[in-house]
Chains A and B, each alone.
Chain A
């Protein structure tokens, strides 16, 4: 049974949540004696107002698209992959190994190799938790989060010892050779005298991320494997009865999820720093959880949520650069958005649903835009599968 039209589900509810988060943020900013309207203006112009601003917003968004897709895909099989951080860390190791130890004549080849290496390393890091879940019933949340710490420790060991060039204090590998430098947005879009995206880290990896969104969408809704993943997520028992092997689904979904998280490393390692640094992932794996929740596990939703978080990151940086609002305040604003759009989703959703139900009861025709009926999973906070006609 449909409670409210599709557009309300996809657009109205997140929008109301955002407005609520913004309103509370405004109160907090007022309380510390700053002007909220001014703060909002700085955030919007700083994150969206110029090619420079977009260069940062889309760089952060690229990270979050990959980790968001990783969490979203696993969600469809009811697997909560909380290990995106570790998988991306190890993915970075894969990128660094191919970039440092193999000669690359052209960046296109290096990029392809980096895609393969980061995905393979990320998938490998998800493989053991996947096996343990499938064969031993060890809970995936516990094992993936523990694997994060193993990944950090592994990278710390490598970057303070074997992979660190001697004589430097920095916990990073040597800079990658020239042949692996993938083009930034500046290289791609500047023409003649007009230099766009000056000094910004956004790079060609963004298009890899967009491609990944399309491929994940096709996988989930257009392939047999995607159907099996969704069926498994709805009901493990029913899926098994229908002949879908749970071991295969768990392992394959987790490998794909780990590969997606691993791909994130191309952006920050090959694209931005052009070397592997210890702190490269910076918790993006965890932001991916919020992005997937907010994007309702749909690739288009993940894309939009990732851009929103990119906006919050870059807008937040601009806020601390141009006002005396401390960086902790910026974290509070980000947390409010996560809380309202992710954790408190039902707080907005239920009144909106009731509103639509009342209108229908009174016989008012609602929203011609309504899409095909979607059967909802009982767990609203993270529906494993929400078919969308939004494309």
Chain B
């Protein structure tokens, strides 16, 4: 018993010493792991970019169990790390409970809103970016049928799908959108074979453009689309390079920028909710040498006009998570 108390006392003293020194930032990756080819990887890219530019270091942890969320947040806070960045909406409830215990530590959460004075919440308007790629899909489609392959059927992915369907309908009101989800377990985020099967099934139903919002599963979707000579749309990071000339575009979600900016600001990071949308280039569609031949000037003009209207508020893309319904598609 005495030993326990000594240990606790020692770690408390350590925490005080560490707190006095210049704080090091820390990042907690969600269960997918930092090489998930999706938003964790994007977050990692942002953190790495910051470290390379400044020559500083950051602490990191990849979650492997739900119970570790609280463990990792508390551990980093007690080590005096600040800001502590976590990606993933499932950390919202634990953070909401823990943040008041460490009032001098700054926290950043990506993809969820936590209303505490020392927390910055970064959320993305994925529905706006998906709307833009949906318009491109409808304009590129010959058959008038386009597909959507989601990872797990969770509200966040429905938000992607709903924005996409609205964009499709805006460009071609007669179009058909087929939506499928890969699975019901977290394995759905990393199942390229299933993604490939779903793509083939959607091609069978006439789809000639398929949008993958499914993490690592999307690799299989893009591969099959390329093999079958139809177009695909990547997600989160710019995936146009995976199959040059066969990936129509990618819906980019700049998690990397959010992480980079938070680390750059350091302990002075501004708290409150930060919405990253089309207006502040938090989301958008990717245009580079790999897909330049696929996007005609008319398509670019139409989608840029829509982007400007979304930014100005003239077009309001319905957010599925606001009322859990979608005017353009039934899930």
List residues of chain A with CB under 8 Å of any chain B CB.
Answer: 49-52, 56, 59-60, 149, 152-153, 155-156, 160, 164, 166-172, 175, 194-196, 198-199, 201, 268, 272-273, 275, 277-280, 282, 313, 316-317, 320-321, 326-327, 330-331
The reply to whether A194 and B152 contact each other, CB–CB distance below 8 Å, is no
B85 to chain A minimum Cβ distance, whole angstroms, is 16
Mark out the residues of chain B between 1 and 42 whose CB falls within 8 Å of any chain A CB in the assembled complex: 1, 3-5, 7-8, 31, 33
Q: List chain A residues, Cβ under 8 A from B62.
A: 320, 326-327
Complex-state Cα separation, A335 to B185, whole angstroms: 21
B135 to chain A minimum Cβ distance, whole angstroms, is 25
The reply to whether A171 and B65 contact each other, CB–CB distance below 8 Å, is no
List residues of chain B with CB under 8 Å of any chain A CB.
Answer: 1, 3-5, 7-8, 31, 33, 61-62, 64-68, 70-72, 74-75, 89-90, 92-93, 111-112, 152-156, 158, 184-186, 321-324
In the complex, which of the residues B7, B61, B111, B324 contacts A321, with contact meaning CB atoms closer than 8 Å? Answer: B61
The reply to whether B64 and A280 contact each other, CB–CB distance below 8 Å, is no
Complex-state Cα separation, A240 to B155, whole angstroms: 53
Q: List chain B residues, Cβ under 8 A from A49.
A: 7
Complex-state Cα separation, A331 to B64, whole angstroms: 10
B66 to chain A minimum Cβ distance, whole angstroms, is 6
The reply to whether A160 and B186 contact each other, CB–CB distance below 8 Å, is no
The reply to whether B153 and A156 contact each other, CB–CB distance below 8 Å, is yes
The reply to whether A201 and B112 contact each other, CB–CB distance below 8 Å, is no
Complex-state Cα separation, A321 to B59, whole angstroms: 8
In the complex, which of the residues A170, A195, A279, A327 contacts B186, with contact meaning CB atoms closer than 8 Å? Answer: A279
In the complex, which of the residues B61, B74, B112, B152 contacts A156, with contact meaning CB atoms closer than 8 Å? Answer: B152
Main secondary structure on chain B at its contact with chain A? helix
B201 to chain A minimum Cβ distance, whole angstroms, is 18
23 A-B residue contacts at CB 8 Å?
A49-B7, A50-B4, A51-B4, A56-B71, A153-B184, A155-B184, A160-B154, A164-B155, A167-B321, A168-B89, A169-B92, A169-B112, A170-B93, A170-B112, A171-B90, A172-B90, A196-B4, A199-B70, A277-B66, A313-B65, A317-B64, A317-B68, A320-B62
Q: List chain B residues, Cβ under 8 A from A277.
A: 66, 90
Complex-state Cα separation, A177 to B279, whole angstroms: 40
Complex-state Cα separation, A195 to B112, whole angstroms: 32
The reply to whether B155 and A169 contact each other, CB–CB distance below 8 Å, is yes
The reply to whether A327 and B155 contact each other, CB–CB distance below 8 Å, is no
Complex-state Cα separation, A167 to B322, whole angstroms: 6
Complex-state Cα separation, A199 to B97, whole angstroms: 11
Q: List chain A residues, Cβ under 8 A from B68.
A: 317
Complex-state Cα separation, A317 to B62, whole angstroms: 9
The reply to whether B64 and A170 contact each other, CB–CB distance below 8 Å, is no
Q: List chain B residues, Cβ under 8 A from A275.
A: 93
Cβ-closest chain A residue relative to B64: A327
Q: List chain A residues, Cβ under 8 A from B152.
A: 156
The reply to whether A272 and B92 contact each other, CB–CB distance below 8 Å, is no
Q: List chain A residues, Cβ under 8 A from B65.
A: 60, 282, 313, 317
Complex-state Cα separation, A196 to B5, whole angstroms: 8
Q: What are the 10 tightest A-B residue pairs by CB atom distance, in nearest-first order?
A: A169-B89, A156-B184, A153-B184, A152-B184, A327-B62, A50-B7, A51-B4, A152-B185, A201-B67, A171-B154
Cβ-closest chain B residue relative to A195: B8
Q: List chain A residues, Cβ under 8 A from B66.
A: 268, 272-273, 277, 279-280, 282
The reply to whether B155 and A317 contact each other, CB–CB distance below 8 Å, is no
* Given known contacts A50-B8, A198-B8, A149 and B74 CB-to-CB distance under 8 angstroms: no
Cβ-closest chain B residue relative to A166: B324
Complex-state Cα separation, A330 to B61, whole angstroms: 13
Q: List chain B residues, Cβ under 8 A from A317.
A: 64-65, 68, 71
Complex-state Cα separation, A106 to B27, whole angstroms: 39
A91 to chain B minimum Cβ distance, whole angstroms, is 16
Cβ-closest chain B residue relative to A194: B5
The reply to whether A160 and B155 contact each other, CB–CB distance below 8 Å, is yes
The reply to whether B64 and A316 contact each other, CB–CB distance below 8 Å, is yes
In the complex, which of the residues A59, A171, A273, A313 contacts B155, with contact meaning CB atoms closer than 8 Å? Answer: A171
Complex-state Cα separation, A175 to B65, whole angstroms: 19
A367 to chain B minimum Cβ distance, whole angstroms, is 35
Cβ-closest chain A residue relative to B7: A50
A11 to chain B minimum Cβ distance, whole angstroms, is 27
Q: List chain B residues, Cβ under 8 A from A52.
A: 8
Q: List chain A residues, Cβ under 8 A from B1.
A: 194
Complex-state Cα separation, A273 to B91, whole angstroms: 11
B98 to chain A minimum Cβ distance, whole angstroms, is 8
Complex-state Cα separation, A119 to B60, whole angstroms: 39
B74 to chain A minimum Cβ distance, whole angstroms, is 5
Q: List chain B residues, Cβ under 8 A from A326.
A: 62
Q: List chain B residues, Cβ under 8 A from A175.
A: 93
Complex-state Cα separation, A273 to B66, whole angstroms: 9
The reply to whether A170 and B67 contact each other, CB–CB distance below 8 Å, is no
In the complex, which of the residues A56, A170, A196 contacts B89, with contact meaning CB atoms closer than 8 Å? Answer: A170
Cβ-closest chain B residue relative to A59: B67
Known: A170-B93, A317-B65, A321-B75; 14 extra A-B contacts, CB below 8 A, are: A152-B185, A153-B184, A156-B152, A156-B154, A160-B158, A168-B155, A170-B89, A172-B90, A199-B70, A199-B71, A201-B70, A272-B67, A279-B186, A326-B62
Complex-state Cα separation, A167 to B323, whole angstroms: 7
Q: List chain A residues, Cβ under 8 A from B64.
A: 316-317, 320, 327, 330-331
Residue among B5, B65, B156, B185 with the most chain A CB within 10 A? B65
B219 to chain A minimum Cβ distance, whole angstroms, is 19
Complex-state Cα separation, A61 to B98, whole angstroms: 24
B51 to chain A minimum Cβ distance, whole angstroms, is 13
The reply to whether A170 and B61 contact each other, CB–CB distance below 8 Å, is no
Complex-state Cα separation, A169 to B87, whole angstroms: 13
A127 to chain B minimum Cβ distance, whole angstroms, is 22
